[in-house]
Amino acid sequence: MRLFLIILGVVLPMILLPSELTLAQAPKLPCATQQVVEGALARQPELRENQRRAQAELRQKAQARAQGRVASNDSVRVIPIVFHIFHNNGPENLTDRQIQDILLILNRDFQLRQPDTARVQRVFRPVMGNTRLEFRLARRDPQGNCTNGITRHQSLITYAANENMKDVVSWDTDKYVNCWIGARIDLGGFLVGGYAYYPGTAPAPRYEGVVVAANQMGFIGGSTTLAYRTLTHEIGHYLNLAHTWGSTNEPGVAANCQTDDDVQDTPNCIGVSTGGCPLTQATCGPLANVENFMDYSSCDRMFTQGQSDRMRDALQSTMGSRNNLWTPENLIATGVAQASPALCAPKVQVASTLRNICPGQTVQLLGSIANVPQDTGLQLRWSIPGAVPATSTERNPVVTFPTEGLYVARLLARNSAGADSAALPYSIFVAGNQRAYAAAQAEDFEAPAWPQAGSNSYNRWQADTAESAAFWRRSTQAGWQSPSALQGPADLLQPGERLGIASAGYDLSQASPDAVLQYKYAAAAQTPTDADRLRLLVSTNCGRNYALRILRQGNTGPGAMYTTSRLASPNWRPSTTEWRTERISLQGVAGQADVRFRFELEGGGGAGVYIDSLVVLVSRLTAVATAEARSTLRVSPNPVQGSATVQLPASGLAYRVVNTVGQVVASGMAPSTQLVLDTQAWPAGAYVVSVGGATHMGSCRFVVAHLGQ
Ligand SMILES: [Zn+2]
């Protein structure tokens, strides 16, 4: 499907989630060059003179050529290009291979080498234009260092990318065509495919260049499927081409017959506003060239000779410094003077498919080598002490970690020009021999040692990225019945951004099939239209895969996200009535030796969520354990006066004492098989002490009576 959105102000009803943003399925989005340029001209009227001068210059040159006063200069012009990729490790982080594909399409489009030029309508074949421009990935950065012409920036900017990318990185725009790529190009809520400034109309030189959404690019996943040629279109604008119907926002309107693109061989037309390929369109009289790259049709596959001349003329102009890009000095400075570049030393980056696993599980290590083509005598060596294997010469080896621990992985790359090495920026965390929790054992987030859970330092709550780790926090201001809770400050999330945290492992091998995960949560919106989402997922394989168990979203209905109708501010504190109890069946999970729960919060503008009092409830553990616990758990004396001694079935068990209305009056870890409770301050009445552990669980009722009562 191809979808066009033409009129500024209409917002596509489409919010792509980062993990759901697949490059292959994206609809084609409109170009925003006209809006962006007009915005800049409105804010800086002095730029209008630049545009007027550039247009006049190109008009003069076109006239001189038409009158035969200048010969066409047909020499090949090489132009250095750099891609700045802003990503959050999603599919928008285009691979080096994908960038090479994109560049191939761009050059074929500009050199009339695309196979589909054979399908151009007969009437337009005589005016097809070959620009003889060749774009090459930069081989030297502005400091003269080796580069592969691709810079990568992990940043949440990618979800609302626009001029903000240029504030982070911009290479000298008189030396390179800068191409900035983000997951979503967002002009104040208006999603577009891309845009570029006409020469000299950018607010400052560093903003000259083109911006394109990753999912509007040419090749998909390195395959040979030809998709959108948005980059070709935007570089047309960058070299001072207007849309074929003229410099307006709107294709498809009759008024466009009165505007022109200043190119003599593109017939007067209204432009294609509905997508598709209306080859017979002739609204202004002559047959329209809907196959032109500067129209919005679905069959764009040519520039005209007039457009080609105009772009080459723009490269002769000082406006926007386009005339410096192809000079011999600049080709040397940017390292693209020769088609095959000098060999540079490799630059290593590393990652892994997983960072938290159980003993015996496998992880794939991912090596990426910048600056060098893949086949230039490159030697690779991973070293992963403690893993099996502990070394590898593969680029992406699969390794196993047999025992608990923290593991470092480092990759060394070497060629005849030099060497580089890099280690994973985190340790592979292997834990799970001893689980942090058992059934009936509650996590109330009161322990300051959190995210460590329990005494084994390998038992931890785990965030899977640095962003997640910084995001999910332990609040000591807003707990359920006790001061602390897990806090997810939704106001810090970009719309659609999803950050998760996973619990330490639960040993539910002894839990009955009717086990239920129970927790309290509180969530509030800031405005009536907020739309956060909270997901709970469950893993039974040490966090390798998670399955969704519940999704909370929206304001109303049974699946509603918010637990209060009150509109709140960030860091709000829920009142007692604003907490909701969530109970999730663990059918199919109970009986597993390692169960992990993962909370994911997806941004939608809300005030934030709190989670507390997480516990797996069971009707029984295994018969043996229950009988053992029942036979051993004793409170004496009973009734209690002063202090009570509780005999436990084992040491190191978590305990909890509740009164008749279910309030917790005491909880903690018993230091030994004996627990002493000071009951002097407790009101007289009945209490239940419960203990839980990997193989023990039991409860015992007792009564507190005070003297004289
Ligand atoms: Zn455009």
What is the distance in A from the centroid of ligand 1 to the CA of 294?
A: 6
Average pLDDT on 361-390 reads 86
Quick one: pLDDT at residue 373?
A: 61
pTM of the model: 0.60
Task: Select from 665, 653, 659, 660 the least CA-distant residue to 691.
Answer: 653
- Is the pLDDT assigned to residue 205 strictly greater than 50? yes
Average pLDDT on 246-274 reads 90
Q: 497-508 as b/e, with b when 16 or more CB fall inside 10 Å?
A: bbbbbbbbbbbb
- Is the pLDDT assigned to residue 286 strictly greater than 90? yes
What is the distance in A from the centroid of ligand 1 to the CA of 96?
A: 26
CA 576-582-585 angle, 5° bins:
160
What is the distance in A from the centroid of ligand 1 to the CA of 192?
A: 10
Quick one: pLDDT at residue 84?
A: 97
Question: Which of 189-193, 370-374, 375-379, 493-497 shows the lowest per-residue confidence on average (mean pLDDT)?
Answer: 370-374
The pair of three-digit structure tokens given for residue 163, joined into one six-digit string: 């001029």
Question: Which of 145-154, 335-344, 610-619 shows the lowest per-residue confidence on average (mean pLDDT)?
Answer: 335-344
What is the distance in A from the centroid of ligand 1 to the CA of 556?
A: 41
What is the distance in A from the centroid of ligand 1 to the CA of 351?
A: 37
What is the distance in A from the centroid of ligand 1 to the CA of 295?
A: 8
- Is the pLDDT assigned to residue 651 strictly greater than 80? no
Quick one: pLDDT at residue 184?
A: 93
Q: How far apart are CA 633 and CA 690, in angstroms?
A: 9
What is the distance in A from the centroid of ligand 1 to the CA of 244?
A: 9
In single-letter form, the type of residue at position 438 comes to: A
Q: What 3-state class would DSSP assign to 688?
A: strand
Quick one: pLDDT at residue 47?
A: 94
Q: Which residue intervals of the chain bear CATH 3.40.390.10?
A: 18-333
Mean pLDDT of the chain: 85
What is the distance in A from the centroid of ligand 1 to the CA of 592?
A: 57
Q: How far apart are CA 62 and CA 49, in angstroms?
A: 20
Give, as one character, the DSSP assignment of residue 92: T
Q: Using pLDDT thresholds of 50, 70 and 90, give the confidence band for residue 25.
A: low
What is the distance in A from the centroid of ligand 1 to the CA of 47?
A: 19
Quick one: pLDDT at residue 248?
A: 81
Average pLDDT on 138-167 reads 91
What is the distance in A from the centroid of ligand 1 to the CA of 100?
A: 23
What is the distance in A from the centroid of ligand 1 to the CA of 150?
A: 24
Average pLDDT on 584-606 reads 89
What is the distance in A from the centroid of ligand 1 to the CA of 130?
A: 20
What is the distance in A from the centroid of ligand 1 to the CA of 64?
A: 27
CB distance 193 to 31 below 8 Å: yes
What is the distance in A from the centroid of ligand 1 to the CA of 31?
A: 4
CB distance 314 to 321 below 8 Å: no
Q: Which residue intervals of the chain bear CATH 2.60.120.200?
A: 437-617
**Which spans in 16-130 are helix H?**
33-43, 46-66, 96-110
- Is the pLDDT assigned to residue 222 strictly greater than 50? no
* Chain segment 77-110, per-residue pLDDT in tens: 999 999 999 998 888 999 888 898 899 999 999 9
What is the distance in A from the centroid of ligand 1 to the CA of 355?
A: 43
- Is the pLDDT assigned to residue 2 strictly greater than 50? no
What is the distance in A from the centroid of ligand 1 to the CA of 10?
A: 17
Quick one: pLDDT at residue 589?
A: 87
- Is the pLDDT assigned to residue 564 strictly greater than 60? yes
- Is the pLDDT assigned to residue 625 strictly greater than 60? no
Quick one: pLDDT at residue 547?
A: 92
What is the distance in A from the centroid of ligand 1 to the CA of 193?
A: 9
Chain Cα centroid distance, residue 42: 34
Q: Which of 192-201, 223-232, 542-551, 554-563 has the highest mean pLDDT?
A: 192-201
What is the distance in A from the centroid of ligand 1 to the CA of 32?
A: 6
Positions of E strands within 100-200 = 133-137, 150-154, 177-182, 185-186, 191-192, 194-196
Quick one: pLDDT at residue 19?
A: 32
What is the distance in A from the centroid of ligand 1 to the CA of 235?
A: 9
Task: Select from 652, 636, 620, 653 the least CA-distant residue to 703.
Answer: 636
What is the distance in A from the centroid of ligand 1 to the CA of 635?
A: 80
* Domain 437-617: CATH class, spelled out: mainly beta
Neighbour tally for 367: CB within 10 Å? 21
- Is the pLDDT assigned to residue 225 strictly greater than 70? no
Q: Which helix (H) or strand (E) holds 235?
A: helix 230-238
pLDDT cut 90: percent of the chain above it: 50
Quick one: pLDDT at residue 32?
A: 92
What is the distance in A from the centroid of ligand 1 to the CA of 28?
A: 12
CA distances from 705 to 32, 314, 402, 679 (A): 78, 95, 54, 9
What is the distance in A from the centroid of ligand 1 to the CA of 209?
A: 14
- Is the pLDDT assigned to residue 394 strictly greater than 90? yes
Quick one: pLDDT at residue 709?
A: 44
CB distance 380 to 413 below 8 Å: yes
Quick one: pLDDT at residue 505?
A: 86
Quick one: pLDDT at residue 218?
A: 66
What is the distance in A from the centroid of ligand 1 to the CA of 195?
A: 7
CA atoms within 13 A on the CB side of 418: 14
Compare 15 and 652 and report the one with higher pLDDT. 652
* Chain segment 341-368, per-residue pLDDT in tens: 667 788 898 989 888 888 888 999 999 8
Q: Using pLDDT thresholds of 50, 70 and 90, give the confidence band for residue 220.
A: very low
* Chain segment 431-440, per-residue pLDDT in tens: 776 666 776 6
Positions of E strands within 620-673 = 634-636, 643-647, 654-659, 664-669
Quick one: pLDDT at residue 652?
A: 67
Q: Using pLDDT thresholds of 50, 70 and 90, give the confidence band for residue 566.
A: very high
Q: Which residue intervals of the chain bear CATH 2.60.40.3080?
A: 623-704
- Is the pLDDT assigned to residue 29 strictly greater than 80? yes
CB distance 98 to 222 below 8 Å: yes
Quick one: pLDDT at residue 89?
A: 83
Instruction: Say if domain 623-704 classifies as CATH 1.10.357.10.
Output: no
What is the distance in A from the centroid of ligand 1 to the CA of 232?
A: 10
What is the distance in A from the centroid of ligand 1 to the CA of 233?
A: 6
CA distances from 273 to 5, 254, 436, 685 (A): 8, 12, 60, 78
What is the distance in A from the centroid of ligand 1 to the CA of 219?
A: 20
Q: How far apart are CA 32 and CA 4, in angstroms?
A: 12
Quick one: pLDDT at residue 631?
A: 61
* Chain segment 31-77, per-residue pLDDT in tens: 999 999 999 999 999 999 999 999 999 999 999 988 887 776 778 99
What is the distance in A from the centroid of ligand 1 to the CA of 432?
A: 55
- Is the pLDDT assigned to residue 609 strictly greater than 70? yes
What is the distance in A from the centroid of ligand 1 to the CA of 321?
A: 21
Q: How far apart are CA 29 and CA 508, in angstroms?
A: 49
- Is the pLDDT assigned to residue 387 strictly greater than 80? yes
What is the distance in A from the centroid of ligand 1 to the CA of 212?
A: 11
The pair of three-digit structure tokens given for residue 284, joined into one six-digit string: 């202004």
Q: Using pLDDT thresholds of 50, 70 and 90, give the confidence band for residue 290.
A: very high
What is the distance in A from the centroid of ligand 1 to the CA of 271?
A: 11
- Is the pLDDT assigned to residue 129 strictly greater than 80? yes
What is the distance in A from the centroid of ligand 1 to the CA of 663?
A: 65
Task: Select from 272, 235, 220, 195 the least CA-distant residue to 109.
Answer: 235
Task: Select from 610, 603, 604 the least CA-distant residue to 571.
Answer: 610
The pair of three-digit structure tokens given for residue 234, joined into one six-digit string: 């935007």
Chain Cα centroid distance, residue 414: 31
Quick one: pLDDT at residue 601?
A: 96
What is the distance in A from the centroid of ligand 1 to the CA of 234?
A: 6
The CATH topology of domain 18-333 is Collagenase (Catalytic Domain) (3.40.390)
**Which spans in 532-599 are helix H?**
none
CB distance 184 to 158 below 8 Å: yes
Neighbour tally for 671: CB within 10 Å? 10
What is the distance in A from the centroid of ligand 1 to the CA of 302?
A: 15
What is the distance in A from the centroid of ligand 1 to the CA of 325?
A: 22
- Is the pLDDT assigned to residue 388 strictly greater than 60? yes
Chain Cα centroid distance, residue 38: 31
* Domain 347-430: CATH class, spelled out: mainly beta
Q: Which helix (H) or strand (E) holds 624?
A: helix 623-632
Q: How far apart are CA 520 and CA 481, in angstroms?
A: 10
- Is the pLDDT assigned to residue 249 strictly greater than 50? yes
What is the distance in A from the centroid of ligand 1 to the CA of 242?
A: 7
What is the distance in A from the centroid of ligand 1 to the CA of 169?
A: 24
Q: Using pLDDT thresholds of 50, 70 and 90, give the confidence band for residue 374.
A: low
Give, as one character, the DSSP assignment of residue 566: S
